[in-house]
Amino acid sequence: MKLLVTGGCGFIGSNFVRHYLEGHPDDTIVNLDLLTYCGNLENLRDLEGDERHRFVRGDIADRELIAELMRDIDLVVNFAAESHVDRSILDPSPFIHTNVLGTQVLLHAAKEAGVGKFVHVSTDEVYGDLGPEGYFTETTPLAPNSPYSASKAASDLLVRAYHRTFGLPAVITRCSNNYGPYQFPEKLIPLFITNAMADESLPIYGDGLNVRDWIYVIDHCRALEAVIDRGRPGEVYNIGADSERTNMEITKTILAELGKPESLMTFVKDRPGHDRRYAIDSSKIQSELGWQPAFPFAQAMKQTVAWYVENREWWQRVKSGAYRDYYEEQYGCR
Ligand code: NAD
Ligand code: TYD
């Protein structure tokens, strides 16, 4: 099988490409990524020279390029997105371009080319804010609260429409917050690990009691494999690992793991529109597709902290923007 993976040099996309090729030695992947501020070729350095992985730099909203790439593709997995809520508050425009227009361009090209399946990687944030009780199911109404989640909800509706109107065999996944290696250090967990390692303060928004439902990135990749193999077109699958934690709990876990003092915690002004709680009911994917999370939170968080400790050079280069030099070196004159 030949896959088109978009956003494959970002956090989840790069973990997916590596994980997928390990388990599917006969498949090939075309990895299309624009390499925006958070896309990083170094995330897949270990695949250099592997003929099963072809990297193409480009924009998912570029109609001609996408039509060309889609010609002999069996299956699309769409990770490419602007993904950070705080950036969407500073400037929503790129979120509309990539998440909404870009997804529509991909859907259209996939329909024209007759691809076998289109897996759209979405988020639980499209469901909005949960009160202290209950869980998001696949039938929870969409009620996004940030420009990021609104743009993802819009893309989900386009996927739905392309399935219903044009018969595109598309599936939507909605996963909870991921953590693991190669996450850009603007998101809570890698930001706090790397700040704590540098003895810098950890900026906790509001009272620190917002709740997220955490999943190790490889469990998300495993769920996507199940959806690729057995997911039914037109369906939505929630993905989560039943690991709700407050931001304070996450912060204290990181500090304890690194042996750093709690005095590094600093409470800062809350994020505008900040959703209080997310929690996923993943019983549908578990019963229908036979997927289950395999990485318990305590152990996978420990491994994640250890990865950032062992890969200081990676995040220091990312934080300094030095990886862009690597890209110029690799592709500047091609
Ligand atoms: P990320 O920001 O690390 O990676 C996004 C990638 O998309 C980057 O490599 C970037 O260069 C690329 N990209 C951005 N605009 C592009 C464009 N116009 N054309 C081509 N490539 C472009 O994000 P991530 O955390 O890996 O998230 C991947 C996907 O998973 C997103 O769709 C996100 O909404 C979804 N998701 C993320 C989480 C999470 O916790 N991180 C949870 C659920 C769902
Ligand atoms: P984030 O990693 O941005 O994911 P999302 O907002 O998409 O869930 O944030 C996770 C939680 O951590 C969220 O409640 C906001 C909070 N947060 C902080 O308290 N401080 C920070 O510096 C960041 C980046 C996030």
CA of 10 to the centre of ligand 1 (A): 6
Residue-level pLDDT at 330:
65
Closest ligand to the CA of 31: 1
Q: Say whether pLDDT at 319 is over 90.
A: no
Query: Do residues 216 and 260 touch, judged by C-beta distance below 8 A?
Result: no
| Mean predicted confidence (pLDDT) in 205-218 | 98
Supply the residue whose CA is at minimum distance from atom 4 of ligand 1. 10
Extract the runs of DSSP E, i.e. beta strands, from 180-241: 202-205, 211-216, 236-239
Summarize pLDDT for 182-192 with one digit per residue, the tens.
999 999 999 99
Residue spans per domain, the chain = 2-179+215-244+274-296+323-331
Ligand 1 mutation pick, 5, 11, 55, max ligand atoms within 8 A of CB: 11
Q: Is the pLDDT higher at 149 or at 332?
A: 149
Residue-level pLDDT at 18:
98
Q: What average pLDDT does the structure give for the chain?
A: 96
Q: Say whether pLDDT at 278 is over 70.
A: yes
- The band of 169, judged by pLDDT with boundaries at 50, 70 and 90, is very high
- The band of 320, judged by pLDDT with boundaries at 50, 70 and 90, is confident
Closest ligand to the CA of 246: 2
Question: Given the CA of residue 177, which atom of ligand 2 is nearest to it?
Answer: 8
CA quadruple 183, 184, 188, 193: dihedral positive or negative? Answer: positive
Tell the CATH topology of 2-179+215-244+274-296+323-331. Rossmann fold (3.40.50)
Identify the H or E element spanning 173.
strand 170-175
What is the DSSP track for 51-113?
Answer: TTEEEEE--TT-HHHHHHHHTT-SEEEE--S---HHHHHH--HHHIIIIIIIHHHHHHHHHHH
Q: What is the pTM of this model?
A: 0.97
Summarize pLDDT for 224-241 with one digit per residue, the tens.
999 999 999 999 999 999
